Amino acid sequence: MARQPNKETLLDWYRQMVLIRRFEERCAELYQQGLIGGFLHLYIGPEATGVGAVAALREQDHVITAYRDHGIALARGLDVNRVMAEMLGKRTGVSGGKGGSMHLADRDLHMWGGYGIVGGHLPLAAGIALAAKYQGKDEVVVALMGDGSTNIGYFHESLNLSAVWDLPVVWLVENNQYGMGTAVGRASGAVEIVNKANAYCCGADGHGMLQGPRVDGMDVMAVYDAISEAAEHARKYGPVLVESLTYRLEGHSMGDPQRYRTKEEVESFQTKGPIGRFRALLSDKYKGVESALDRIDEEALKAVDDAVEFAKNSPDPTYDDLVSHVYVD
Amino acid sequence: MADKVITIREALSAALREEMQRDERVFIMGEEVGVWGGTYAVTRGFIDEFGEKRVRDTPISEMVIAGAAVGAAMAGLRPIAEIMTINFAFLALDAIVNHAAKVRYMFNGQFTVPLVIRTTTGGGKQLGATHSHAPEVIFAHFPGLYVGVPGTAYDAKGMLKASIRDDNPVLFVEHSTMLQRRAAVPEDPDFVLPIGKSDVKRRGKDVTIVTYGKGLEWSMTAADTLSKDGIEAEIVDLRWLRPLDLEPVFESFKKTNRCVVVEESLPMFNIGAEVAAQIQQEMFDYMDAPVKRVSAMDIPLPYSREIELMALPSAEKVVAAVKELV
Ligand SMILES: Cc1ncc(C[n+]2csc(CCOP(=O)(O)OP(=O)(O)O)c2C)c(N)n1
Ligand SMILES: [Mg+2]
């Protein structure tokens, strides 16, 4: 059973979700102003999935994800100033301004990065899990991915290998119903993605992929419980596939005309957003908590303001940065 | 410790065994590396000696072989991932090019990828168009990766050991028709060769032949023939396509003023193109003739013996190319 989070922990999850939301809103503005370049994939809508999943991990565990990575990075505790600096391509950024929005990592926090190639990080997750197991460490990897990436070869090869080798990986599909503009049902033979686990289960001695739950990805508590349980299984036995049902409230990336869905559909999810829902739950559970939540809201805004200040005042990378770290010298 | 005459296959096995004995973090993964003993028998007996933990048979999954090896390397192990033949590395191209070669740079030095991907290359065995590529030059295009192609047993051992000990990702390419070639090789477990150093394999004054891998064999045979006609070829074996060390080529060219590049690659965008460009850039004042290239013909390799050989380079083609120059 998952550790039951106390009030302080729950408020911290709320803080993280609000921080992510404010951070992403600000990124959108900075993109419009031309201060952020490249592709920008916002994590507005799925905050509860990222925060709940990361909360279920221990410090020594590992997180890896795709390019929609800002929320995961912030949930894992990457410095908000340095994440914003990376957005602005500054030398103080978490990846020195060389990775950009899609490539946020912090080795020390076991955040192994965001990755821009759909599915490209999934075999890396298997390898990180192999290293943990090989070295006899009691660690698990949570590998987040989009629904669209479950149709790519990397997904199948990685899940299969993790099943054959009993690797401690929680494969977590963030099913936000679309891969760019293609709805899940138009791209995936299995519409309930979690059923794909069955293809890699079970060997003669019962080993192989465990089919985990389809969890309400807009409910941070539910995600936390599901991933806590999955991580426990992964630590003891091997891989699990979990599907989180979520929704992105913004376009795929900036400038997405969103011809593939209706305004009404988006609005229907807006009212079910994970932050408002969690706030209501907290208000219900703890009498008089509103003032604390308001304070958290203000602090999040301030943290993002400060991060933008920090990023704007940071130096650009230099020629030396351009040419460094191609190889180990 | 003395030298011993062994085959390239034995040299590779010795290098792997010694490095696995030396460092617990080194392990092998790939198709048929364990129970089968390696498709080219390089890892025969390894699974008994080192166990299944360190000699890991994988499913037929090139994408995850390469990608999981990258992840394991990032997380502190020193994988030797085997891709049965380089033809199948095309399936792993993304993992090799985008992740093995780039995660260090992209995340500003936070990650290290001490990885060796071993594979075999080359045509000439009547395996048809899909199984006869020699495309190592494609991989040499990308910064972040090293590409080594040994042409002798001596180099095979020293270069492979160096690759395993190095902290950068290396694509290590062995020629599938050369595994039985013999040479004297040091038995000293600390024999390693530097990464990115070419080697002059034959001294001569009349023409510089630049080559690597199987090209070394064609070139050495050609040089013997040419010598009978009074033409002495100097042969520079690049050994590494990246880092590419052309210093010995330039030194040689100052003396010979002529150059032929010999390789099994296809003729367009190959190593010869790069060497010719660099000679033209650096050695313009020394040039007495255009740089000539001997490579495979610009077609897919066919099955039938005679026409397959027709499409590949040969010692005779090297002789003919040199004679056009001198
Ligand atoms: C191998 C590859 N093919 C195509 C793309 C272009 N692309 C980027 S994101 C994306 C959609 C992925 O959808 P999903 O996995 O559901 O993630 P989401 O964006 O919904 O979070 C595509 C096709 C890519 N980055 N990599
Ligand atoms: Mg999606």
Q: From the CA of A52, how many Å to the nearest CA of chain B? A: 24
User: What pLDDT does A1 receive?
Assistant: 52
Asked if residue A115 lies in contact with residue A64, where contact means CB atoms within 8 angstroms, the answer is yes
Percentage of chain B with pLDDT > 70?
A: 100
Give all strands (DSSP E) within chain A, no chain letters: 62-64, 141-146, 169-175, 178-179, 182-183, 210-216, 240-245
User: What pLDDT does B71 receive?
Assistant: 98
Percentage of chain A with pLDDT > 70?
A: 98
User: What pLDDT does A3 receive?
Assistant: 73
User: For the segment A216-270, what is each residue's pLDDT rounded down to a tens digit?
Assistant: 999 999 999 999 999 999 999 999 999 999 999 999 999 999 999 999 999 999 9
Q: From the CA of B107, how many Å to the nearest CA of chain A? A: 5
For position A213, which CATH number holds?
3.40.50.970
**What value does the mean pLDDT of chain A take?**
97
Do residue B107 and residue A161 have CB atoms under 8 angstroms apart? no
The 3-state secondary structure of chain B reads CCEEEEEHHHHHHHHHHHHHHHCCCEEEEECCCCCCCCCCCCCCCHHHHHCCCCEEECCCCHHHHHHHHHHHHHCCCEEEEEECCHHHHHHHHHHHHHHHCCHHHHCCCCCCCCCEEEEEECCCCCCCHHHCCCCHHHHCCCCCCEEECCCCHHHHHHHHHHHHHCCCCEEEEEECCCCCCEEEEECCCCCCCCCCCCEEEECCCCEEEEECCHHHHHHHHHHHHHHHCCCCEEEEECCEEECCCCHHHHHHHHHHCCEEEECCCCCCCCHHHHHHHHHHHHCHHHCCCCCEEECCCCCCCCCCHHHHHHHCCCHHHHHHHHHHHC
Do residue B111 and residue A105 have CB atoms under 8 angstroms apart? yes
Write out chain A residues lying below 8 Å of B64, CB-based: 122-123, 126, 154, 157-158, 160-161
Residue A319: pLDDT over 70:
yes
Residue A263 lies in a domain: yes
Using the Cβ of A132 and the Cβ atoms of chain B, whether some distance falls under 8 Å is answered with yes
Which among A112, A79, A95 has a CA at the least distance from the CA of A38?
A95
Residue A194 lies in a domain: yes
Instruction: Give the closest of B71, B95, B167 to A125, CB-based.
Output: B71
Residue A23 lies in a domain: yes
Residue A2 lies in a domain: no
What Å distances lie between residue B325 and B209, B233, B318, CA to CA? Answer: 12, 12, 11
Closest ligand 1 atom to A147 CA = 16
Chain B: residue whose CA lies nearest to A137: B75
User: For the segment A122-134, what is each residue's pLDDT rounded down to a tens digit?
Assistant: 999 999 999 999 9
User: What pLDDT does A205 receive?
Assistant: 73
Q: What are the catalytic residues of B? A: 62, 131
Domains of chain B (ranges plus CATH)? 3-186 (3.40.50.970), 199-325 (3.40.50.920)
Pocket test for ligand 1, best of A180, A186, A247, A253 (most atoms within 8 A of CB): A180
Residue B118: pLDDT over 60:
yes
Residue A25 lies in a domain: yes
User: For the segment B35-79, what is each residue's pLDDT rounded down to a tens digit?
Assistant: 999 999 999 999 999 999 999 999 999 999 999 999 999 999 999
Residue A97 structural domain: 7-313
Name which of B61, B62, B97, B171 to mutate to probe chain A: the one with the most chain A Cβ atoms within 10 A of its Cβ: B61
A207: confidence class by pLDDT, cuts 50, 70, 90? confident
Which residues, other chains included, contact A255 with Cβ-Cβ below 8 Å and sequence gap of 6+? none
Strand arrangement of the beta sheet that strand B170-175 belongs to: B55-57, B26-30, B78-83, B116-121, B170-175, B146-148, B240-242
Using the Cβ of A326 and the Cβ atoms of chain B, whether some distance falls under 8 Å is answered with yes
A179 C-alpha to center of ligand 2: Å?
A: 4
Please give the average per-residue pLDDT across A87-111, as a whole number: 98
Q: From the CA of A39, how many Å to the nearest CA of chain B? A: 15
Q: Is the peptide bond before B300 cis (omega within 30 degrees of 0)?
A: no
Residue A81 lies in a domain: yes
Chain A: residue whose CA lies nearest to B92: A154
Residue B203: pLDDT over 90:
yes
Size of interface A-B (CB pairs under 8 A): 136
User: What pLDDT does B242 receive?
Assistant: 98
Residue A29: pLDDT over 80:
yes
Please give the average per-residue pLDDT across B178-194, as a whole number: 98
Secondary structure of residue A106 in the 3-state scheme:
strand
Q: What's the domain count of chain A?
A: 1
B11 C-alpha to center of ligand 2: Å?
A: 49
User: What pLDDT does A204 receive?
Assistant: 67
Write out chain A residues lying below 8 Å of B115, CB-based: none
A272: confidence class by pLDDT, cuts 50, 70, 90? confident
Residue A209 lies in a domain: yes
Please give the average per-residue pLDDT across B24-29, as a whole number: 98
For chain A, give the number of residues. Answer: 329
Please give the average per-residue pLDDT across A209-219, as a whole number: 96
Please give the average per-residue pLDDT across A161-170, as a whole number: 97
pTM (whole model) above 0.90: yes
Using the Cβ of A323 and the Cβ atoms of chain B, whether some distance falls under 8 Å is answered with no
Pocket test for ligand 1, best of A118, A173, A178, A244 (most atoms within 8 A of CB): A118
Write out chain A residues lying below 8 Å of B144, CB-based: 326-327
Residue A299: pLDDT over 60:
yes
User: What pLDDT does A2 receive?
Assistant: 64
Please give the average per-residue pLDDT across A17-41, as a whole number: 98
Residue A202: pLDDT over 90:
no
Asked if residue A182 lies in contact with residue A260, where contact means CB atoms within 8 angstroms, the answer is yes
Instruction: Give the closest of B56, B59, B106 to A98, CB-based.
Output: B106
A201 C-alpha to center of ligand 1: Å?
A: 27
Using the Cβ of A120 and the Cβ atoms of chain B, whether some distance falls under 8 Å is answered with yes
**What value does the mean pLDDT of chain B take?**
98
Please give the average per-residue pLDDT across B290-316, as a whole number: 98
Which among B300, B279, B301 has a CA at the least distance from the CA of B290?
B279
Please give the average per-residue pLDDT across B190-203, as a whole number: 98
Closest ligand 1 atom to A184 CA = 16
